[in-house]
Amino acid sequence: MKKVPLKNYFILLFILVITVVVVLGAREFYYSRTEKQYTSIMNDFITEVKLEDLDDYTLENSPAVIFISNKKDSSLETQEKQYKDVLIEYDIKHLFVYLDTSVEEEDILTKFNQKYNMKISNIDLPKLVVVDGGKIVDEYSTLDFNQAEVVNFLMENGVIERD
């Protein structure tokens, strides 16, 4: 019987360790990407409502602010954090609902536009829509978040009470 050099055992051990590290790294990468894909700051923070249930919700809870956003779009994350800070500061979280457009985005926006006679596209997101008594009162959207403008918009529509 031929004796196997000790060096071969170290090479085999090295290959096994590298394989395990690569597999675990790929697994972590996969989980971080899929979790990020389906996670939104606002979705976890305020109540999510489906488009079909929106009429009932807004009739029962007036005034309500619909926060329309796409939870898969990571470019909206910074703005969502800023909106969340406003909701916490003024304690108005209970007046907001989240409408997610990430699943069938064009279909949801088209149905929303037809239902409420609006023109919202995915470049307008995130968007705030104030609804009172089942009717749209006002809407707000901007590419650059400005806290003073958002607070002023919410005050004008009676969401935030003036001092």
Q: Is residue 162 part of a domain?
A: no
67 Cβ contact list (under 8 Å, min separation 6): 42, 46, 83, 96, 97, 98, 99, 126, 127, 128
Q: What is the mean pLDDT of residues 113-135?
A: 79
Q: Is residue 130 part of a domain?
A: yes
Instruction: Return the pLDDT at 24.
Output: 96
Do 81 and 126 lie in one domain? The reply is yes
Tell me, what CATH number does 107's domain have? 3.40.30.10
Instruction: Return the pLDDT at 22.
Output: 97
Q: Is residue 31 part of a domain?
A: yes
Q: Is residue 161 part of a domain?
A: no
Do 82 and 124 lie in one domain? The reply is yes
Q: Is residue 163 part of a domain?
A: no
Q: Is residue 118 part of a domain?
A: yes
Instruction: Return the pLDDT at 127.
Output: 84
Residue showing tokens 């675990």: 24
Q: Are strands 64-69 and 96-100 parallel, antiparallel or unpaired?
A: parallel
Do 46 and 69 lie in one domain? The reply is yes
pLDDT in tens, 37-61: 546 677 678 888 888 888 788 888 8
Q: What is the mean pLDDT of residues 95-111?
A: 79
Instruction: Return the pLDDT at 25.
Output: 95
Do 137 and 92 lie in one domain? The reply is yes
Lowest pLDDT segment from 15-19, 86-90, 155-159: 155-159
For residue 163, pLDDT beyond 80: no
Show the domain range for 69.
Answer: 41-156
Neighbours of 142 (CB within 10 A): 14
Domains of the chain: total: 2
Do 88 and 147 lie in one domain? The reply is yes
Instruction: Return the pLDDT at 133.
Output: 78
Instruction: Return the pLDDT at 13.
Output: 95
Do 8 and 77 lie in one domain? The reply is no
pLDDT in tens, 9-38: 999 999 999 999 999 999 998 887 765 554
Instruction: Return the pLDDT at 59.
Output: 80
Do 32 and 51 lie in one domain? The reply is no
Cα–Cα dist 115/136, whole Å: 11
